Structure formats: C-alpha cells, structure tokens
Amino acid sequence: MGMVIHDDFWAATQAMPEKQRAPFLYALAEYRFEKKEPKGSPPWLPTFIALKQRIDMGDEASERGRKMAQARWGKQKAQASDQQAAQAQAQQNAQAYAQADAYAYAQASNYPDAEVEDELGVGEPPYIPPMPGNEEGAPYWLQCLAAFNDLMGTAYTTMPSKCRHMLDRSAAVFTVGQVRSMVEFKREEWAGTKYRKGLTPNTLFSPDHFEQYMHQAIAEEKEAGDYAAYDQI
C-alpha cells in the first residue's frame, strides 16, 4: 500500500524552514513503510509525533478494510478460478484501502460527523491562510480561518464551500474580531466536554450554527460587561 500525503501534512512541511523539509518528509515516509522513528530531537519532532498518529490510524483502518474484504469475497474466491480470484481480490483490496483512508481522514478531523472538505482552489495548493497581523487584503473568510488557526493552534487550509459562503455573507455583519471572540467562547464553553470534538471550521462556520454561535458569544460578552460595570458601582 502507498502513502497518502494530506493537505495538512504538506502545509506543515511548507511552514518549516526549507532545510528541515526534506528530513521531515523522509522521516514520515520511513515511519510509514519501516516504522522507524527519528533519532535525537530534531526541531520538527513535535509535528512528526502529531502526524504519525494519523499514519497509524490510516494503517489500522486499512488493515480492517482488507480483512473485511477478504471475508466478504472468501466464498466467491473458492468458487472462482485462480485468475478470477486474484483479480477480484485485487479490486476489493483497492476499494477497501480507499474507503479506509477516507474513514481515517474523517476520524482525524476530530469530529465524529466530519464532512469531506472541498478544496477551495485559492492559489497553489496547499494554500496557507495569512498569519495574525498580516491579514490585510485577504478575503474575509480567510481572515476568519486564520483567526481560528491562531486560537486553536491548528493549520486548517480548507473548509467546505458552504462555510466559506456563510462567512462571506456575514462580512458586513460581524467583524473578524467578533468571529475570533466566538471561537474563543466556544472553546471555553466546550472544554472538557464531548463537544470539544466539534471545534472545527466545519462546525463553527457552518450555516446551521454560525449565526447562533455568534449571537451566543455576543450575548455572553455583553453580560460580562454588565457584571463588570455593576461591580464598579
């Protein structure tokens, strides 16, 4: 089985100094195919540790898919000729690997109902949102994504198109600062609960939730301000 390089793998690599990129990518490949971990403490070791869990998850899901495919086609294999059985096995393994990899990617997005994210086609993929303090001129939705990444310590580069359109429609209503406050509010509200897995752009910027969460955060901020004013009386 080959190795899948997801968008966030590549985005993490691009964010490193150039001289660190090749050793980092080689370490990922060596771990994937030989299960060897890097020696010493290279500067990219924390990123490697985080991403190797994604690799392990994909391998485990692929193995489960392979076993399921073998069980499903075992009876037909016994009845078919050797050549037909080999062809059927190869086809089923390929399907199982593809399904397992998609499942692993959804699981790794930290939300049990994670959607398949659409590539937005902005710039040359992978596209890296602007860093905090350097958002001038960037589209509103990208500024919101950059604020999310800054608060959550993530490196998202895409979101479903429905979320992007929701943010674009809200640009005249909410400031990026208010969106940032909403993300911070939900992070604190969901900390230590099962809902923390929903702290993704897919959920917070979804048309089904975004305005509701924004009004919750604004109301919370107003209430806190009222309490502060009362305490000063």
Any residues with CB less than 8 A from the CB of 220 and at least 6 apart, and which? 185
Assessment of whether the complete model's pTM goes beyond 0.75 = no
The C-alpha atoms of residue 161 and residue 12 are separated, in whole angstroms, by: 23
Segment 85-113, tens digit of pLDDT: 666 665 665 555 555 444 444 444 444 43
Output the DSSP codes for 84-107: HHHHHHHHHHHHHHHHHHHHHHHH
Is 51's pLDDT higher than 90?
Answer: no
Least confident of 3-12, 54-63, 121-130, 193-202: 121-130
Q: How far is CA 207 from CA 113, 114, 118, 162, in A?
A: 16, 15, 15, 7
Least confident of 12-16, 84-88, 162-166, 203-207: 84-88
Helix H segments across the chain?
Answer: 7-14, 18-34, 45-79, 82-108, 140-152, 161-170, 176-190, 201-204, 210-231
The C-alpha atoms of residue 122 and residue 130 are separated, in whole angstroms, by: 12
Q: How far is CA 66 from CA 61, 95, 99, 106, 150, in A?
A: 9, 9, 10, 19, 39
Can you give the residue ranges of every domain in the chain?
A: 7-108, 140-231
